[in-house]
């Protein structure tokens, strides 16, 4: 894609309800309405940097690895300007460019931006709670119920990464469309991989979340923090490996497709522009999990298996304002981390002693660092 097309795609004009959604959506770059101003019209101009990283089975000491992973995440600088009325911006201009231009960086930038508009490059979402809390400030029961009902939050995240798997030993590669004949112990469609040979791949992490607050806390009115419960749906795919799946005495490298749906628990601030140190975190418990590949795990183990997914994440950032009015120059620095772990266990009902044993596990860690310097006028 030409640079001019990228710039044009980053010019976002939003009005009415869309401008409210975009104007209250602030996560990784805090340049929307973070001030408490009495001005009717306002403007922001900001410059920022963000770097994303992905680590696969990096710190799992018990796992006997077949491959060594090298991964690449998006690293961009960003220039942002917006104009707004009251508390919500109605015109936003975003220019982004990879720090080190390359075909993979350009593809990641394009993939991450096609599903969103406005404030967040990696995430777009609808957050009604800042609007609701602005208008519904009473302590009566009816307003409290309305705040809960209208504080629904929906978020969609799509992130693209590139990776390369270097085989540490001689192995067998099993693609998704391979056919495994367990009776004759034959694989059709696989191929041998020599030690030191590499396989390239790319992965999209796609996440949906919807949540409502159970309760809010904090000394201010309305409360600046909440505890939320909701539902999530996550999917991604990449190359994986296992020494438990052996073909002709060789360990395997295989295409894997992951899916997890379940319970979301989260807590954090509803005003992401609060001065000082801020944090939010979440925990996801899989209730309907799957790991698809050419390998049939129940036939491979000779037992019924259970797939389990757990994920946790934390974001921490510091907002520094150079004016008590939260206008003028401000600085925001932060970082985020998440880890998702999927395991395949032999079910307890098949264990001779009533216990379960893990036959496969994969871990994916995603991290981000960001910095922003902005001026509000």
- What's the whole-number mean pLDDT along residues 119-129? 40
- Res 95 pLDDT > 90: no
pLDDT in the model for residue 146: 64
- What's the whole-number mean pLDDT along residues 156-174? 92
Report the share of the chain in percent with pLDDT over 90. 36
Residues making up the chain, counted from first to last: 377
Report the share of the chain in percent with pLDDT over 70. 72
Q: Which of 14-18, 47-51, 310-314 has the highest mean pLDDT?
A: 310-314
- In this structure, how many other beta carbons lie within 10 angstroms of the beta carbon of residue 190? 20
Q: In whole angstroms, how far apart are CA 114 and each of 97, 191, 274, 303? A: 15, 36, 30, 43
Per-residue pLDDT band at 337 (split at 50, 70, 90): very high
Q: Which of 130-134, 255-259, 297-301 has the highest mean pLDDT?
A: 255-259
- What's the whole-number mean pLDDT along residues 23-39? 37
pLDDT in the model for residue 62: 65
What's the gap between Cα 256 and its chain centre?
Answer: 19
pLDDT in the model for residue 117: 30
- What's the whole-number mean pLDDT along residues 8-12? 37
| Inter-residue contact 129 to 226 (CB < 8 Å) | yes
Report how far residue 58's alpha carbon sits from residue 65's, in angstroms, rounded to the nearest whole number: 10
Does this model's pTM top 0.85? My answer is no
pLDDT in the model for residue 81: 80
Q: Of the ranges 168-177, 245-254, 275-284, which one carries the lowest mean pLDDT score?
A: 245-254
Report how far residue 7's alpha carbon sits from residue 63's, in angstroms, rounded to the nearest whole number: 44
Tens-digit pLDDT profile for residues 47-89: 999 999 999 988 766 678 899 999 999 899 988 887 766 555 5
pLDDT in the model for residue 10: 40
Q: Which residue has the higher pLDDT, 123 or 132?
A: 132
pLDDT in the model for residue 61: 63
Write down the domain spans for the chain.
3-376
pLDDT in the model for residue 17: 28
Q: Which residue has the higher pLDDT, 318 or 184?
A: 318
- What's the whole-number mean pLDDT along residues 139-160? 71
Q: Which residue has the higher pLDDT, 154 or 201?
A: 201
Question: For the chain, what is the mean pLDDT?
Answer: 77
């Amino acid at each position: 894609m030409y640079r001019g097309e990228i710039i044009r795609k980053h010019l976002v004009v939003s009005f009415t309800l869309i401008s409210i959604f975009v104007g209250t959506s602030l996560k990784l770059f805090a340049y929307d309405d973070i001030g408490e101003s009495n001005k009717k019209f306002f403007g922001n101009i900001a410059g920022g940097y963000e770097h994303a990283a992905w680590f696969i089975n990096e710190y799992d000491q018990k796992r006997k690895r077949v491959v060594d992973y090298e991964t690449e995440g998006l690293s961009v600088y960003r220039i942002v300007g917006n104009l707004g009325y009251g508390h919500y911006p109605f015109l936003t201009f975003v220019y982004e460019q990879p720090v080190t231009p390359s075909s993979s960086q350009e593809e990641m930038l394009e993939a991450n931006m096609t599903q969103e508009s406005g404030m967040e490059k990696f995430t777009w979402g609808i957050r009604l709670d800042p609007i609701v809390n602005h208008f519904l400030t009473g302590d009566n029961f009816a307003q409290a119920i309305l705040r809960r009902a209208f504080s629904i939050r929906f978020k969609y995240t799509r992130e693209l990464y590139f990776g390369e798997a270097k085989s540490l030993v001689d192995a067998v590669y099993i693609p998704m469309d391979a056919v495994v004949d367990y009776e004759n112990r034959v694989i059709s469609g696989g191929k041998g991989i020599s030690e030191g040979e590499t396989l390239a791949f790319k992965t999209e992490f796609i996440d949906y979340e919807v949540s409502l607050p159970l309760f809010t806390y904090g000394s201010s009115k309305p409360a600046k923090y909440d505890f939320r419960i909701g539902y999530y749906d996550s999917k991604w795919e990449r190359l994986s490996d296992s020494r438990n799946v052996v073909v002709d005495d060789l360990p395997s490298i295989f295409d894997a497709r992951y899916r997890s749906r379940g319970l979301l628990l989260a807590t954090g601030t509803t005003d992401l522009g609060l001065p000082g140190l801020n944090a939010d975190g979440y925990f996801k418990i899989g209730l309907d999990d799957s790991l698809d590949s050419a390998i049939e795990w129940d036939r491979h183990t000779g037992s019924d298996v259970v797939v389990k997914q757990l994920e946790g994440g934390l974001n921490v950032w510091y907002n520094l304002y150079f004016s008590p009015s939260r206008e003028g120059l401000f600085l925001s620095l932060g970082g985020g981390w998440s880890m998702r772990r999927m395991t395949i266990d032999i079910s307890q009902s098949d264990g001779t002693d009533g216990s379960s044993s893990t036959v496969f596990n994969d871990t994916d860690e995603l991290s981000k660092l960001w910095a922003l310097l902005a001026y509000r006028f």
